[in-house]
């Protein structure tokens, strides 16, 4: 059963974990530092210009945004709030941290995380926090965005350096470069996420393998 990314549709935004859909089916979450290009990556993946809002102000995504992904009734893409924001209150930051951390630690139907990072500034302290919340039992794919902003040689260097840092930390992940502006890496991302969904679908068919910590 192949996902139809172009038919992805916004379902709703939630501000609390208890407002999420029933913890079943398959979810793939997108997370990233504010202004790293997360919304542009989601839009590129789904071939839609405004599926996820691209805000001029970092940290605009303040809720967990849920998108349905045909053809399955319970396949979802999850757009997590951007982090690293500066122009919000300490109380709002704490709320988002609880939302992000609680979702990544406890959501059992989460098949994997797509971590969006600006290729010029990968693996910030806040990115490491996201990885800690995600844990070792989740699939992880790192998308280094804005690859058009640097040379191809520098992009390759950053890709290999980021992979080496993750390996040193004992974190297993796949990585790729990406440019929403140049439409670079979109097919690679679609192909990988289709594989994740197919694997989850096969596991469900074999008796519903338990996921998550």
Q: Which tens digit of pLDDT belongs to each residue from 113-152? A: 999 999 999 999 889 989 999 988 899 999 999 999 999 9
Q: What is the pLDDT of residue 86?
A: 53
Q: What is the pLDDT of residue 52?
A: 83
In 3D, which of 118, 163, 127 has the Cα closest to residue 145? Answer: 118
Q: What is the pLDDT of residue 62?
A: 75
The pLDDT tens digits of the residues spanning 11-52 come to 999 999 999 999 999 999 999 988 899 999 999 999 988 898
Q: Report how far residue 53's alpha carbon sits from residue 56's, in angstroms, rounded to the nearest whole number.
A: 10
The pLDDT tens digits of the residues spanning 42-99 come to 999 999 888 987 544 444 557 899 999 999 999 999 999 888 755 667 787 787 788 9
> The whole model's pTM is what?
0.90
| Residue 49 structure tokens | 């210009």
Q: What is the pLDDT of residue 209?
A: 40
Q: Report how far residue 17's alpha carbon sits from residue 37's, in angstroms, rounded to the nearest whole number.
A: 24
| Residue 197 structure tokens | 């969904």
For the chain, list the domains and their CATH numbers.
5-202 (3.40.50.300)
Phi-psi region of 201 (alpha: psi -120 to 50; beta: other; left: phi over 0): alpha
| Residue 163 structure tokens | 């992979």
Query: Looking at 75-84, 110-119, 163-172, 176-185, which range is the least confident one?
Result: 75-84
Contact 38, 32 (CB under 8 A): yes
Q: What is the pLDDT of residue 157?
A: 98
Contact 37, 87 (CB under 8 A): no
């Amino acid at each position: 059963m192949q996902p139809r990314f172009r038919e992805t549709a916004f379902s709703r935004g939630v501000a609390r974990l208890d407002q999420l859909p029933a913890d079943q089916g398959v979810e793939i979450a997108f997370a990233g530092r504010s202004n790293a290009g997360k919304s542009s990556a989601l839009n590129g993946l789904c071939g839609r210009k405004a599926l996820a809002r691209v805000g001029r102000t970092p940290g605009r995504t303040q809720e967990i945004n849920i998108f349905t992904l045909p053809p399955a009734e319970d396949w979802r893409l999850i757009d997590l709030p951007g982090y690293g924001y500066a122009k919000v209150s300490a109380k709002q930051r704490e709320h988002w941290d609880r939302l992000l951390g609680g979702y990544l630690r406890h959501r059992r139907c989460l098949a994997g995380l797509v971590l969006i990072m600006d290729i010029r500034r990968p693996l910030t302290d806040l990115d490491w926090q996201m990885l800690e919340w995600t844990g070792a039992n989740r699939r992880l794919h790192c998308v280094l965005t804005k690859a058009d902003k640097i040379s191809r040689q520098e992009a390759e260097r950053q890709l290999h350096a980021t992979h080496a840092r993750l390996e040193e930390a004992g974190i297993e992940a796949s990585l790729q470069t990406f440019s929403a502006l140049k439409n670079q890496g979109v097919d690679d991302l679609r192909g990988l996420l289709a594989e994740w969904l197919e694997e989850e679908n096969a596991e469900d068919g074999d008796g519903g393998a338990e996921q998550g910590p």
